Chain A
Amino acid sequence: MITSEWLYWLIGAFFIAVSVFILTDRTHAKRVGNAAFWGILGLSFFAGTFVVSGALPAWALGIAVLVMVALAGLGFTGTTSRTRVASVPGAGVGSATGPAEPTAVTTRPSSSTSVLATTSPDERAGFAQRFGNRLFIPALVIPVVAVLVATLGPLVRIGGEPLLAEGSATLTGLGIGSVLAVVVAVLVLRPPRLDTPVREGARLLQAIGWAALLPQMLSTLGIVFTQAGVGDAVGTIIKAVLPDGSLLAAVVVYCLGMALFTAIMGNAFAAFPIMTAAIGWPVLVQGFDGNPAAIFAIGMLAGFCGTLVTPMAANFNLVPAALLEMRDKYGPIKAQLPTAGILLVVNMGVMYLVAF
């Protein structure tokens, strides 16, 4: 049976390659710190397999995690003073990594050995002219393959056993799709060297920086919150005001709570475990026997409505106002407020209608 572990090893190998690229880049300002961060992250992806199987004690991996946090938190990583956090739209990472120069095209007139070296804007314009819409083909391979494997994969059985482990079909499809997309891109675009895709990926990863680890840490925080009873505490407070046995009220409170907690924290990822442990899981899924996939997906989108209206999500709301030199720095929020309000109600309605 195929699990997702091979995928994590592939990701780990990518991170280790990034670490090696940085180590060999003599022009890099923070060479050792960055190389250590990506190297430890890569090794941790391999170590995770042995933690899951029980061969390695989890506290050992816990130490590695804290070392990575210390490296990033104390300023040993990054290329310039600030890096962009564009990897997680909607989540609204309200952090100091706000995009000082959030241009995706990092052009540096440095030597070709730099991990940030890529084509110049002029070269890109020329390539765009030449390749046109063919540029979109490799990118489309990923969702097409992912959807095909995710829908057809679970049907494949070998000797009565399912080929793919339960819950791993989508990730398997994503992994196969990503690899195939690189193959297609290399065939269409004919880059100068075979390691060019990995180097270009390393460039993007460097631009994301330590924020690449943030979603995983937020997921871990959610688990710690749940173990320590944060969800129960919030749930106790909510149940004091929630009318007993009303499905509609529970749906409204879950969606509204997601939007409010997201607006306060500036981050839907941080709000999700709290509201889900407080009400999404115990009341909506267990109490009212709802469909967990629908409840959780729509609940997250209710949180995004909160992201649209909070200055805490600076990257999405304040930075555009600054870039456009607006007098009113809340201009984008004002333009988004009615849409966010309507969509919050839509989310409540859709959840109420389809999830139960």
Chain B
Amino acid sequence: MRARLSRMFVLIGVAVVIIGFALRVNALLVVTVAGIVTAAIGGIDPVGILTAFGSGFASSRSVTTFALVLPVIGLIERYGLQDQAKRLIAKLDRLTTGRILAGYLVVRQVTAAVGLTSIGGPAQTVRPLVHPMAEGAATKKYGRIDERMREKIKGFSASSDTVGVFFGEDVFVAVGSILLITSFVDEAYKLTLEPIDLALWAIPTGIAALLVHGTRLLLLDRKLDKMAADVRQTEGVAA
């Protein structure tokens, strides 16, 4: 019983991570302290802890191979990659709100799947481009939109970027999540997994994400139709 209880004490390390992240302490510090605390409770001596960090670093170097793509991405950014992406996205301008966002979702997910995660983002594309286009389309269609509709469009604009990049990036092999899986399981369980095999298994969920969220974005048009009708009705009553 006592042995079983003491085995549970290692969960304190998990608590350290949760509390540290919640308090927004520097994540590197949180992770390192959680590792030291957990190892100490687990009965690993100081030299053993240093050894664990050293061999852990050496065996997980593959996770950082994403750094290799930075020079070429930086170079094409220097020559206007983001501007060109914006020019492409701006071509969606004549569509309805839902179709603009669905179109952006496709662009975002496909480009993330080939490793171009940096062409979009809340600050890079959503705020300056996608959201104004989506709201502009709604204003053009309904004449006037109220605060509730505006909030809805903002929320869905942000979601089209986030869902697109999350379920696109895992199809690209040089991405942190894929390389983290291989480096961790190869070290912990002595496997030799190829990152590309994992990336392949991300494709079914990626397609599902495109279909599910794409459909919801297209249905947003109907929801806005309804909300706009409500707005007209209440205004009619007020008048």
A319 to B5, CA, bound (A): 41
Inter-chain contact A197/B169, CB cutoff 8 Å: no
Residue of A nearest to B125 (CB): A104
B70 at the binding interface (Cβ < 8 Å): yes
Inter-chain contact B72/A185, CB cutoff 8 Å: yes
Inter-chain contact A96/B24, CB cutoff 8 Å: yes
Residues of B close to A166: CB separation below 8 A: 192
If A171-B65, A321-B155 are given as contacts, then 5 extra A-B residue pairs at C-beta distance below 8 Å, sorted by A number, are A62-B51, A89-B117, A95-B26, A265-B17, A298-B201
Residues of A close to B213: CB separation below 8 A: 339
A197 to B189, CA, bound (A): 38
Inter-chain contact A102/B122, CB cutoff 8 Å: yes
Give per-residue flags for A317-337: 1 if the beta carbon is below 8 A from chain B beta carbons, else 0.
101110110111001101110
Inter-chain contact A334/B155, CB cutoff 8 Å: yes
A132 to B127, CA, bound (A): 23
A284 at the binding interface (Cβ < 8 Å): no
**Among B80-88, B92-100, B137-145, B227-235, which stretch is in contact with chain A?**
B80-88
Q: How large is the interface on A (under 10, 10 to 19, 20 to 34, 35 or more residues)?
A: 35 or more
A97 at the binding interface (Cβ < 8 Å): yes
Inter-chain contact B56/A308, CB cutoff 8 Å: no
Residue of A nearest to B84 (CB): A128
Inter-chain contact A51/B54, CB cutoff 8 Å: yes
Inter-chain contact B78/A200, CB cutoff 8 Å: yes
**Among A3-11, A25-33, A246-254, which stretch is in contact with chain B?**
A3-11
Inter-chain contact A233/B10, CB cutoff 8 Å: yes
Inter-chain contact A125/B57, CB cutoff 8 Å: no
Inter-chain contact A320/B158, CB cutoff 8 Å: yes
Residue of A nearest to B86 (CB): A128
Inter-chain contact A95/B21, CB cutoff 8 Å: yes
Residue of B nearest to A131 (CB): B79
A58 to B57, CA, bound (A): 9
Residue of B nearest to A334 (CB): B155
Give per-residue flags for A42-86: 1 if the beta carbon is below 8 A from chain B beta carbons, else 0.
001101110110000111111111101100110000000000001
- In the assembled complex, the CB of A333 is this many whole angstroms from the nearest CB of chain B, namely 8
Residues of B close to A138: CB separation below 8 A: 72, 75-76
A204 to B118, CA, bound (A): 10
Residues of A close to B83: CB separation below 8 A: 124-125, 127-128
A116 to B17, CA, bound (A): 33
Residues of B close to A216: CB separation below 8 A: 57, 60-61, 63-64, 183
- Please pick, from B22, B115, B176, B201, the residue contacting A88 in the complex, using a CB distance under 8 A: B176
Inter-chain contact B177/A90, CB cutoff 8 Å: yes
B106 at the binding interface (Cβ < 8 Å): no
Inter-chain contact A218/B31, CB cutoff 8 Å: yes
Inter-chain contact B27/A97, CB cutoff 8 Å: yes
Inter-chain contact A143/B115, CB cutoff 8 Å: yes
A326 to B127, CA, bound (A): 11
**In this complex, which of B41, B165, B177, B191 has the most chain A Cβ atoms within 10 angstroms of its Cβ?**
B177
B202 at the binding interface (Cβ < 8 Å): yes
A220 to B55, CA, bound (A): 8
Inter-chain contact A229/B42, CB cutoff 8 Å: yes
A223 to B77, CA, bound (A): 36
- In the assembled complex, the CB of B207 is this many whole angstroms from the nearest CB of chain A, namely 10
- Please pick, from B4, B10, B156, B165, the residue contacting A230 in the complex, using a CB distance under 8 A: B10
A206 to B236, CA, bound (A): 56
Inter-chain contact B11/A273, CB cutoff 8 Å: no
Inter-chain contact A320/B7, CB cutoff 8 Å: no
- Please pick, from A8, A96, A230, A336, the residue contacting B11 in the complex, using a CB distance under 8 A: A230
A215 to B165, CA, bound (A): 18
A328 to B114, CA, bound (A): 33
**In this complex, which of A93, A221, A229 has the most chain B Cβ atoms within 10 angstroms of its Cβ?**
A221
A214 at the binding interface (Cβ < 8 Å): yes
Inter-chain contact A227/B42, CB cutoff 8 Å: yes
A56 to B103, CA, bound (A): 53
Inter-chain contact A274/B14, CB cutoff 8 Å: yes
- In the assembled complex, the CB of A228 is this many whole angstroms from the nearest CB of chain B, namely 3
Residue of B nearest to A222 (CB): B184
A347 at the binding interface (Cβ < 8 Å): yes
Residues of B close to A198: CB separation below 8 A: 71
Nearest 3 CB-CB pairs, A to B? Answer: A200-B74, A228-B42, A220-B56
Inter-chain contact A343/B54, CB cutoff 8 Å: no
A201 to B49, CA, bound (A): 33
Inter-chain contact A214/B28, CB cutoff 8 Å: yes
Give per-residue flags for B57-69: 1 if the beta carbon is below 8 A from chain A beta carbons, else 0.
1111111111111
Interface residues of A in 171-194 (CB under 8 A from B): 171, 173-175, 178, 181-182, 185-186, 189, 191
Give per-residue flags for A226-258: 1 if the beta carbon is below 8 A from chain B beta carbons, else 0.
111110111010000000000000000000000
- Please pick, from A133, A197, A272, the residue contacting B75 in the complex, using a CB distance under 8 A: A197
**In this complex, which of A51, A52, A103, A171 has the most chain B Cβ atoms within 10 angstroms of its Cβ?**
A171
- In the assembled complex, the CB of A317 is this many whole angstroms from the nearest CB of chain B, namely 7
Residues of B close to A102: CB separation below 8 A: 121-124
- In the assembled complex, the CB of B108 is this many whole angstroms from the nearest CB of chain A, namely 10
A2 at the binding interface (Cβ < 8 Å): no
B199 at the binding interface (Cβ < 8 Å): yes
